Amino acid sequence: MKKAMLTLSVAGALMFSVVPAASAVGNGPGYGGNETINTSILTTYEEMADFLQKQDAKQAHMELEVIGQSVKGRDLYLAKYISDPDNPTILFLTQQHGNEQLTTEGALEFIKHLGTSKTKGILDNVNVLIVPMLNPDGAMGDVNFSLDDYIAKGDRHLTRYNANEEDLNRDHVAKTQPEIQALHTNVLGAFDIDYMIDLHHQGAWSERDGELVSGSILYPTTPNVDPDVLLGSKQLGSVVFNAVDSTGWGHLGKYGGGDAETISRNGLAVEYGISTLLFEMRGMSDHYYEPYVLGQKSNGYLIKQTVTTLDAAVRAISDGSIEQADVSFWDTLAVQQWRDTE
């Protein structure tokens, strides 16, 4: 008995010794006591729609399109910046999983930047397509199943699934859900897209080299991907890694993903020849499983991570430097590991 307690206290001390670096960017909800998960600070679907319409009215180069409707009838938006159809084109997709919201917050911030002098001249040589919040019903918790066991307090729960309790990022082959049909028909099949970043959030406790990651990235891993498409994906990953991992607050691992083509990272690379990159950021906005949820103290740097990612990708495509990006880092980048938080 005594020995068991001793072991426990040693484990506790060890766990504590690695916490400070992570605490700097916020944890939660139950870790080290107690942050309430409050989703009222997140942008609602209605606020997003209003924001996009205002930016559309304000930004001469932006065109806002409705590409379809969700199960519950919410309009799905595409923000387009097309200066020349012959330019290389990149698509940013957020929130296929409704409880992964900070990627959308970052995409909206980036849309705002595209209307200012911060990105002057860059859009002359690259077309940018942004589909924010592909799963608005899940994001607003307006679904046909119970979310009573979800952790966030207050009125709004966010869930991975769409209103039919389907996982949109497992539907890219069968295409049974209206959100996925809209994306394929009116975006993927309608534009000549070269690059795509699919933005997600993962659990809060993955680490690389003993330090919690701010996110992890991965290229297509299906054997059916064309080698040139794969190279483009690895180059896109190189641009993102160099922009984020060098910031001081960013720490990226390699995501341990499979080869199923039902997910966009693999499926879109094969079906459309798009160089895809999956970006899984740290921690979800809501879930029933506590280690997946991250407190809002981390919101600032995770939103900044999204903006940094989108900005770096657009710049590197615009000036052509992406084609010289060094992909050798992928050979040594460690696959993230899940830290035991029990």
Asked if 200 touches Zn ion (CB under 5 A), the answer is yes
Minimum distance, C-beta of residue 31 to Zn ion, in the bound complex (Å): 21
265 binds Zn ion (CB under 5 A): no
- Comparing CA positions, the residue from 251, 292, 336, 304 lying closest to residue 103 is 304
Work out how close the CB of 199 gets to Zn ion at its nearest, in angstroms, rounded to a whole number.
8
Question: Quick one: 77 or 279, whose CB is closer to Zn ion?
Answer: 279
Q: Which residue in 74, 97, 172, 339 binds Zn ion (CB under 5 A)? A: 97
DSSP 8-state symbol, 164: T
Q: Which is nearer to Zn ion, 100 or 171 (CB)?
A: 100
Pairwise CA distance, residues 56 & 63, whole Å? 6
Which range of residues in 12-20, 98-106, 175-183, 310-318 is near Zn ion by CB under 5 A? 98-106
Q: Which of 199, 192, 187, 197 is nearest to 68 (CA)?
A: 187
How far, rounded to the nearest angstrom, does the alpha carbon of residue 321 sit from its chain's CA centroid?
23
Q: Are 88 and 127 in contact (CB under 8 A)?
A: yes
Binding residue count for Zn ion, defined by CB under 5 A: 3
Amino acid at 118: K
The window from 97-105, 123-131, 171-179, 271-279 that contacts Zn ion (CB under 5 A) reads 97-105
DSSP string covering 244-292: HHTSSS--EEE------TTSHHHHHHHHH--EEEEEEEE-BS--SSGGG
* Cβ 109 vs Cβ 55: under 8 Å: no
Nearer to Zn ion (CB atom), residue 194 or residue 280: 280
Which residues, in sequence order, are bridge partners of residue 200? 280
User: Shortest approach of Zn ion to residue 97 CB, angstroms?
Assistant: 3
Q: How far is the CB of 280 from Zn ion (least distance, A)?
A: 7
Shortest distance, position 216 Cβ to Zn ion, whole Å = 12
Q: At closest approach, how far in Å is the CB of 200 from Zn ion?
A: 3
Contact segment (CB under 5 A) with Zn ion among 141-149, 197-205, 210-218, 334-342 equals 197-205
Q: What residues numbered 119-148 form the site for Zn ion, per CB under 5 A?
A: none
Smallest distance from the beta carbon of 8 to Zn ion, in angstroms?
34
What 3-state DSSP class applies to 95?
coil
Q: How far is it, in rounded angstroms, from Cα 287 to Cα 69?
A: 25
- Please identify, using beta-carbon distances, which residue of 200 and 208 lies nearer to Zn ion: 200
Q: Candidates 94-102, 210-218, 255-263, 290-298 — which segment interacts with Zn ion by CB under 5 A?
A: 94-102
Angle between helices 299-318 and 102-114 in degrees, nearest 10: 50
Bridge partners for 215 per DSSP: 252, 281
Q: Considering the complex, state which of residue 77 and residue 255 has its C-beta at the smaller distance from Zn ion.
A: 255
Nearer to Zn ion, 26 or 257 (CB): 257
Q: How far is the CB of 96 from Zn ion (least distance, A)?
A: 6
Residue number with CB closer to Zn ion (37 or 281) = 281
Asked whether position 287 contacts Zn ion by CB under 5 A, the answer is: no
**In what order do the strands lie in the sheet containing 211-212?**
211-212, 206-208, 337-338
Contact positions toward Zn ion, by CB under 5 A? 97, 100, 200
